[in-house]
Amino acid sequence: MSSVGSTTAAKLARERQPHGQPLWLLAELTYKCPLQCPYCSNPLDFADTGAELSTEQWIDVFRQARRLGAAQLGFSGGEPLVRRDLERLIAEARQLGYYTNLITSGIGLDAARIAAFREAGLDHIQVSFQAADEEVNNLLAGSKKAFAQKLAMAREVKAQGYPMVLNFVTHRHNIDRIDRIIELCVELEADYVELATCQYYGWAYENREQLLPTRAQLERAEHITNEYRARLAEQGNPIRLIFVTPDYYEERPKKCMNGWGEIFLTVTPDGTALPCHSARMLPIAFPNVKQQSLEQIWNESSGFNHFRGDDWMQEPCRSCDEKAHDHGGCRCQAYLLTGDMNAADPVCAKSPHHDTILAARQAAEAPAHETDVTYRNERNSRVFARSID
């Protein structure tokens, strides 16, 4: 299909279907990262993208997004700590009235920097872990020092008065140790813990065979999490455990990003504006903040209008009585699994492509094998970029 609609068509679509404000701005400050997680959601060809936005350009993005109604600002990457201007960006965001959240691996953090972030007005820090045991964590991170540094920084974040918010990405190699993961979180006196099973985009899709757990693994992990929830509540421990299952074990898709171009706006390191963090791989020419105002981008661009409303839907979505609820599911997942971004998300049991999900589940039942994962690093990314050219 034609990948880019005309501006006129986009305007018409907008008039037909009013949309929301970009309440949530995700600023992917950089694709640079000291770790190499094989489930990273960054694009496979991240090494081939243009120059990063300057400090002033980012501040201008924050200002424009705030005028459009953005209230939450997430600093992400790559590893956002790589940016030496992060303190300044946080301070400017605070001045503009954002609620700010730093999403980090903790690598590159120290007590002085946490204090500087606090001084600048940062509201929230989320530290991600790869596993609860040092060896697996470091293997998955591709770094020998990652685990010790993360533990120290998680403790320091709490010591400096922030709530401790931890994120563990789970998959077939660590999900059987969910009890150990929860014990570690309790030991660390965490306040919120996201036990999020990988979603299969970007590098995780590339490594899906090595990462997708079996249904039995998933059910056992959820059961253990529920037992801990009950026990910890009885003990008066306020920790909140949030268990996120992968789409691949659902029968109905999610309303991805709460609807395309409804509340989420992602800006990538080179200024490309996206309705979700994975959309860059779709055959759509997305606008760039260096060339257009955010207002034009959000309201007028064909990229943001592409999946607003339901005119784009095919069967079975078009006549489905659940379409207002799930909006046909995730566009990126549909594209990855079918090659057609307009197709129903194959997670849906009504999709003619649901067999791709069943096949992935079936493949996960095979015993874990020793196939190497593909690490997310510059070298591998350049190989992917060359293969796309």
Name the site residues for ligand FES (rule: CB under 6 A): 201, 256-257, 276, 278-279, 330-332
Nearer to ligand FES, 154 or 274 (CB): 274
* Cα(126)–Cα(68) distance, integer angstroms: 26
93 vs 256, beta carbon nearer ligand FES: 256
Provide, rounded to whole angstroms, the least separation between the CB of residue 33 and ligand FES: 20
Beta strand segments in the chain, E: 24-28, 72-76, 99-104, 124-129, 165-170, 192-197, 240-244, 264-267, 273-274
d(CA 70, CA 63): 9
CB of 100 to ligand FES, least distance (A): 23
AA letter at 326: D
Q: How far is the CB of 230 from ligand FES (least distance, A)?
A: 33
Least separation in angstroms between CB 88 and ligand FES = 30
**Which positions ≥6 away from 180 have C-beta within 8 Å?**
132, 133
With residue 335 as reference, give the H or E element that holds it. helix 331-338
Q: Are 26 and 265 in contact (CB under 8 A)?
A: yes
> In this complex, which beta carbon is closest to ligand FES, that of residue 117 or of residue 260?
260
Please give the Cα distance from 318 to 235 (Å, whole number): 50
DSSP 249-278: G-SS---GGGSTTTSEEEE-TT-BEESSTT
- Rounded least distance, CB 348 to ligand FES, Å: 13
Q: Is the Cα torsion angle 64, 90, 164, 52 positive or negative in sign?
A: positive
User: Closest separation between CB of residue 369 and ligand FES, Å?
Assistant: 28
In the complex, least distance from residue 272 CB atom to ligand FES, rounded to whole angstroms: 14
Structure-block tokens of residue 88: 């300044």
Cβ atoms within 10 A of the Cβ of 194, count? 17
CA distance linking residue 320 with residue 328, whole number of Å: 9
In the complex, what is the shortest distance from the CB of residue 287 to ligand FES, in angstroms, rounded to a whole number? 16
